[in-house]
Amino acid sequence: MAALVSMTMARLHLFDLDGTLLYDTSAPVEISRQLGLEAETVALDKAISAGLIGPPEYAARVRELWADLTEAHVASAFEGAPWLGRIREVWAAIRQEGDYCAVVSLSPSFFVERLTGWGAHAAHGSLFPAVPFTEPVDPAGVLNAAAKVEIARRLCEEFGVTSADCVAYGDSFSDKDLFGAVPTSVAVNADLHLVGLATHSYMGLDLWEAYELVRHAR
């Protein structure tokens, strides 16, 4: 009698950046810290969180703040940011399982895309011009909550999985739509509203511990 072979569909793990992989901060705040403009960007983060401005206006205003931004500033911001622990170990384990991992964030693409060097299969952010800036931000390239769902759909097609095979990790209102579009979600150091929408919740500084909540859930 032939042995029965269990066929398990690969999964796609979708990670938010600001407040999720980065603890209690955002990529724009960490970038602005390099220019001595942290307070101004924290104010913008509060304004967008409160719904006082939208993603295109936010992107245009941080672009104005970053008139003197260089690649060296971006590299220093990335290297010195308060990342959760064991991000690279989690992504290595996901790859070893035959699964996929991607980052989808409203933050600037030039920062988000650096995470492919840590093992993410893909990393998508709002499209900014190259640093140092010589052009304005195109509003059409700025992501919002709904765009996260569309990018997730495209990634599913690219990797040959379905939305039923996705796990989302996030912390705030911008992750609400994505949490509603996938069956498994982890609220990571999240506000109470998002915790109520998630299938799992994690508070702490180690991404591995958040991953363990869903590692064997199929």
Q: pLDDT averaged over the chain?
A: 94
Domains in the chain: ranges and CATH: 12-23+83-212 (3.40.50.1000)
Classify residue 21 by its DSSP letter.
I
Q: What is the pTM of this model?
A: 0.94
Place of tokens 């967008």: 48
Q: Give the span between the Cα atoms of 181 and 199, in whole angstroms.
A: 12
pLDDT at 218: 64
Contact 59, 142 (CB under 8 A): yes
Residue in the block written with tokens 């672009």: 63
Taking only the tens place, the pLDDT of each residue in 7-45 is: 468 999 999 999 999 999 999 999 999 999 999 999 999
pLDDT score for 216: 83
Query: For 121-179, what is each residue's pLDDT tens digit?
Result: 999 999 999 999 999 999 999 999 999 999 999 999 999 999 999 999 999 989 999 99
216: its two tokens: 């064997």
